[in-house]
Amino acid sequence: MFPIRDHNPSGRTPYVVYALIAINVLVFLSYAGILGDQRALTYFFYDWALIPARVEAGSGYYTYITSMFLHGGFMHIAGNMLFLWIFGDNLEDEMGHLGFLAFYLAAGIGAGLIHVYTAQGSVVPTVGASGAIAGVMGGYLLLFPKARVDVLLILIIIFRIIPIPAFVVLAVWFVLQFAGSVGADPNVGGVAYWAHTGGFIAGFLLTIPLWLRRGGPAFWNRTHGHPDHPEARYARGPSRIPKVPRQKRPPRRNPWG
């Protein structure tokens, strides 16, 4: 399942989401030319990525922020920006522009702290906005658990878009990240599962005060877990994938008569 959009339109222009996406893309493009040079990329990440052993030694605290705007490749940044685009605008709508920016950075820092704590002594550089975006997903789960999210379902050769409640999509994602966290070796490069798990929990907890100001359980009772405004509806036309008619096989001829 791969989420592609939600049915929860925002009531105001999400300027902070736009700015975050633009900054991430511009920063990525600024060093994309050295992605094929492992030596140069290692030196670059040593200066700006989050390295637990370095932070434990008492330096590089600024990398809690800078690492949030670095990515390891095109698919890495594309996936993160898609998730930020889908879920971020609604939290910005609820929190306000400056409130959402503070929330985003706090969730990212929280994810970094969890990663450093669980990867003590690791010299593997950690990059990506995933921790902060996981926080956005945690906040979205609390405020809009039943908002519909369209996911692209891929089953070998079957491609289909289906609407699923947000709590299903986000809960499955969280369980997968937590499962990956258990037994993960912090000294081996790959997905920083604990940063994802920690960011999600941090975002959920940071959103609780806003949820309580909206009425807490009364907010859910009033909205039934859906957006507090009419949800977006998307036209579902016929599939554009051409159908190939099945041809009947001609009867077999007996070569002997």
This model's pTM is above 0.75: yes
Residue 187 lies in a domain: yes
Residue 154, H or E segment: strand 148-155
Residue ranges making up the domain that contains 143: 2-223
- The verdict on whether 130 is a catalytic residue reads yes
- The verdict on whether 59 is a catalytic residue reads no
Q: Convert the pLDDT of each residue in 42-67 to its tens digit.
A: 999 999 999 999 999 999 999 999 99
Q: Convert the pLDDT of each residue in 167-206 to its tens digit.
A: 888 888 778 777 776 766 655 556 777 788 989 999 999 9
Total domains in the fold of the chain = 1
> Do residues 109 and 66 make contact, with C-beta atoms less than 8 angstroms apart?
no
Alpha-carbon distance of 225 to 144, in angstroms, equals: 5
Phi and psi (nearest 5°) for 4?
A: -120, -20
Angle, to 10 degrees, between the axis of helix 74-95 and the axis of helix 97-118?
A: 130
Q: Convert the pLDDT of each residue in 205-247 to its tens digit.
A: 999 999 999 998 888 888 878 777 677 776 654 444 344 444 4
Residue 255 lies in a domain: no
Q: Tokens 């706090």 sit at which residue? A: 106
Calculate what percentage of the chain has a pLDDT beyond 90.
53
> Do residues 90 and 223 make contact, with C-beta atoms less than 8 angstroms apart?
no
Residue 83 lies in a domain: yes
Strand partners, 219: none
Phi and psi (nearest 5°) for 162?
A: -135, 140
Distance of CA 37 to the CA centre of its chain: 27
Domain containing residue 55: CATH number? 1.20.1540.10
Calculate what percentage of the chain has a pLDDT beyond 70.
83
The pLDDT score that the predictor gives to residue 184 is 62
Q: Tokens 């592609």 sit at which residue? A: 4
Residue 214 lies in a domain: yes
Q: Which amino acid would we find at residue 167? A: F
- Out of 7, 71, 115, 196, which one is annotated catalytic? 196
Alpha-carbon distance of 164 to 6, in angstroms, equals: 9
Dihedral angle sign, alpha carbons of residues 39, 45, 48, 54: negative
Residue 249 lies in a domain: no
Strand partners, 5: 150
- Out of 7, 71, 115, 130, which one is annotated catalytic? 130
Residue 12 lies in a domain: yes
The pLDDT score that the predictor gives to residue 69 is 96
The pLDDT score that the predictor gives to residue 56 is 93
Q: How many CB atoms lie within 10 A of CB 15?
A: 13
Residue 29 lies in a domain: yes
Residue 140 lies in a domain: yes
> Do residues 93 and 12 make contact, with C-beta atoms less than 8 angstroms apart?
yes
